[in-house]
């Protein structure tokens, strides 16, 4: 995406697209950092729950309650992974949209040239 805004001919539009791309990149970075922190917390919680389950299993032989907590934590981690994948897909979609805009701009330049020559 970073390279596409550079191909815009008009300086005001180039500056506008540069700011938009920078905003998207900053937002994606911020979301990725937040997701990473969340995933680290979740992994730590899952590990703690697993350790508690092992300890309780040794203490009383029955740890089904703790295992249910562990299952909920595993579901939360899967949800976080899905969110990360969706964020990457959204970023790729944005890059594809900018590429299509660039192609359309080039096509319009050709049409404008043809109309100007007529």
Report how far apart the first and last C-alpha atoms of the chain are (Å, whole number).
Answer: 35
Q: What is the pLDDT of residue 112?
A: 80
Region of residue 62 (phi > 0: left; psi between -120 and 50: alpha; otherwise: beta): beta
Q: What is the pLDDT of residue 30?
A: 92
Under-50 pLDDT residues of the chain:
none
CA dist., res. 69 & res. 75, Å (int): 10
Q: At what angle do helices 11-60 and 64-117 cross, to 10 degrees?
A: 170
Q: What is the pLDDT of residue 110?
A: 82
Contact 83, 35 (CB under 8 A): yes
pLDDT digits (tens, 9 = 90+) for 86-101: 988 998 898 888 888 8
CA dist., res. 85 & res. 61, Å (int): 39
Q: What is the pLDDT of residue 61?
A: 53
> Considering the entire predicted model, what is its pTM?
0.44
Q: What is the pLDDT of residue 38?
A: 92
């Amino acid at each position: 995406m970073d390279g596409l805004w550079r191909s815009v001919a008009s300086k005001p539009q180039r500056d506008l697209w540069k700011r938009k791309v920078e905003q998207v990149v900053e937002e994606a970075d911020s979301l990725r950092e937040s997701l990473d922190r969340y995933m680290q917390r979740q992994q730590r919680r899952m590990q703690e729950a697993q350790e508690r389950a092992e300890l309780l299993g040794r203490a009383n032989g029955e740890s089904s309650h703790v295992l249910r907590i562990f299952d909920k934590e595993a579901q939360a981690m899967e949800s976080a992974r899905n969110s990360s994948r969706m964020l990457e897909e959204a970023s790729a979609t944005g890059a594809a949209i900018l590429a299509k805009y660039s192609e359309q701009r080039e096509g319009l330049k050709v049409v404008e040239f043809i109309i100007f020559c007529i």
